[in-house]
Amino acid sequence: MPSSRESFASRLGFVLAAAGSAVGLGNIWKFPYVAGSSGGGAFLILYLVIVFTLGLSVMLAEIALGRATRANPVGAYNALGGRRWSIAGWLGVITGPMILSFYSVVGGWTIHYAVQSVLGRLDDVDGQALGQAFEGFISDPVAPLAYHAAFMALTIGVVIGGVAKGIERWSKLLMPALFVMLIVLAGRALTLDGAAEGVAFFLTPDFSKVTGDTVLAALGQAFFSLSLGMGALITYGSYLARRENAGRAALTVTALDTTVALLAGLIVLPAVFAFGVDPAAGPGLVFVTLPGILDRMPAGQAFAVLFFVLLGVAALTSAISLLEVPVAYLTDEHGWHRRRATLATGLFCFVIGVPASLSLGAWSGLTVFGLGAFDLMDYLTSKVMLPAGGILVALFVGWKAWPILSHEIGREDGPAPTWGRAWRLMLCVVAPVAIAWVMWGGL
Ligand code: TRP
């Protein structure tokens, strides 16, 4: 039924939806603290090199595979590789809901923090109390689940609307809003006294700090941030019109994602230095350190509201893409109505997220391999399933489906661009070897 398949109404729609998928908690919450604890400027340069070589090639492979087959990941691999390869698609259909389950829990935290900052509850609280409040909140048996439910309901609400009327319409509204908020916040952070030190830390490379771990951190961060390895971009690529230039779209999405990560670094790190906080403070940097910093700024409350709304919006447009993958699978392959597929999958992800949330508090004693449900799901997906998916898509497009996909990198009806051979080399050899090496190091 290719004719009844939905597609994005405009090129901008695809770019904003794919950028919405890429830009998320990974950019704003994770990137600054990973950069902060991995050597600042040296990490940044490594990250940029990886993103624009490996990341871009794998992203283009996903988009090309989706667009050529106009199918969800299972259908896409099946069409060009047969049943055996469809296992690679399956991996993605399973990974999406697994990520969404705990991603939505953190998405719920952003709503809680947005509400707290509106109510002024983060004002005049010292760092230690903020830390205790954060721990207290995430380990509470009830409140985080209510916010998790709210976040999942929003995600379902957008995906149920479909591709053009749901995903595209909301991305077109939310993504520009996100950019404006980021620029306002960066303007604020960069004009703080002492901000220059943070900028210098972030932008001055010190290569003596680069170790094997730094490279691993940069590669893992790049793949998560660009939404690679589980077919989110195969699925979005399947809604991309044939006349569009896939290579240019991939480049735009990669550039937007990287710009947001850089802006997030330029918000958080100058603020951290201006107030003498340790840039390597870890995952609490955004939820604990930042409210403390904002509180000491003029109009800090307004900026705190802005920041947490922004974080929630970024998380929402990413969550949408995680939900869309299984929904596309159920509607394409099993003929389910979008409404039913979205509600069933969303509810399922909510339920799976419950033990993830509880594992941070009430159920913290329940562990497998020493990890609670939340950490286990995070570990399995980002250290095992996403890299495996990345290797598979690179090998598949580079070796198996190359004759069909080689001209997909430009306009579908146009000539293959001259850089096609470099792309193939990346897919056949460089990306699989590099990713396998990262997986090895990570495990
Ligand atoms: N890229 C998003 C972020 O940075 C997370 C995300 C959305 C994702 N869809 C994905 C990660 C698919 C891996 C695969 O927060």
Give the pLDDT confidence of 178-226 residue by residue, as tens digits.
888 888 888 888 888 888 998 998 888 888 878 877 887 888 889 899 9
65, 77, 237 from 74: Cα distances, Å:
11, 6, 14
Q: What is the distance in A from the centroid of ligand 1 to the CA of 299?
A: 32
pLDDT at position 310 is 86
Contact between 286 and 29 (Cβ < 8 Å): yes
Classify residue 371 by its DSSP letter. Answer: B
Q: Between these two residues, 3 and 393, which has the higher pLDDT value?
A: 393
Contact between 83 and 130 (Cβ < 8 Å): no
Nearest alpha carbon, ligand 1 atom 6: 227
pLDDT at position 1 is 40
Mean of the pLDDT values across residues 372-395? 91
Identify the band that residue 413 occupies on the pLDDT scale cut at 50, 70 and 90.
low
pLDDT at 3 over 50: no
Mean of the pLDDT values across residues 329-338? 96
Give the pLDDT confidence of 248-272 residue by residue, as tens digits.
999 999 999 999 999 999 988 888 8
Identify the band that residue 440 occupies on the pLDDT scale cut at 50, 70 and 90.
confident
Q: Is the CB of 318 under 6 A from ligand 1?
A: yes
Give the pLDDT confidence of 279-322 residue by residue, as tens digits.
776 667 788 877 877 777 778 888 889 889 889 999 999 999 99
pLDDT at position 34 is 84
Tokens standing for residue 128: 């230690």
Q: Is the CB of 25 under 6 A from ligand 1?
A: yes
pLDDT at 43 over 50: yes
Q: Sort residue 312 into left (φ over 0), alpha (ψ -120 to 50) or beta.
A: alpha
Report the mean per-residue pLDDT for the chain. Answer: 89
Mean of the pLDDT values across residues 158-174? 88
Burial (CB < 10 A; 0-12, 13-18, 19+), residue 66, is: buried
Degrees, nearest 5: CA angle 314-201-27: 15
Give the pLDDT confidence of 49-83 residue by residue, as tens digits.
999 999 999 999 999 999 999 999 999 999 999 99
pLDDT at position 254 is 97
42, 201, 225, 275, 416 from 194: Cα distances, Å:
21, 12, 29, 8, 50
* Helix residue ranges per DSSP H, 70-168: 73-81, 86-118, 127-138, 143-160
Identify the band that residue 122 occupies on the pLDDT scale cut at 50, 70 and 90.
confident
3-class secondary-structure state, position 294: helix
pLDDT at position 283 is 67
Q: Is the CB of 58 under 6 A from ligand 1?
A: no
Nearest alpha carbon, ligand 1 atom 10: 227
pLDDT at 131 over 90: no
Tokens standing for residue 412: 């579908």
pLDDT at 337 over 80: yes
Look up tokens 């490379």; give the residue.
205
Q: Between these two residues, 219 and 149, which has the higher pLDDT value?
A: 149
Residue 371 phi, psi (nearest 5): -115, 140
The preferred substitution site among 63, 321, 349, 392 for testing ligand 1, maximizing ligand atoms within 8 Å of CB, is 321
pLDDT at 103 over 90: yes
Look up tokens 């998560």; give the residue.
224
Q: What is the distance in A from the centroid of ligand 1 to the CA of 261?
A: 13
Mean of the pLDDT values across residues 411-420? 68
Q: What is the distance in A from the centroid of ligand 1 to the CA of 230?
A: 9
- DSSP string spanning 167-183? IIHHHHHHHHHHHHHHH
Contact between 51 and 212 (Cβ < 8 Å): no
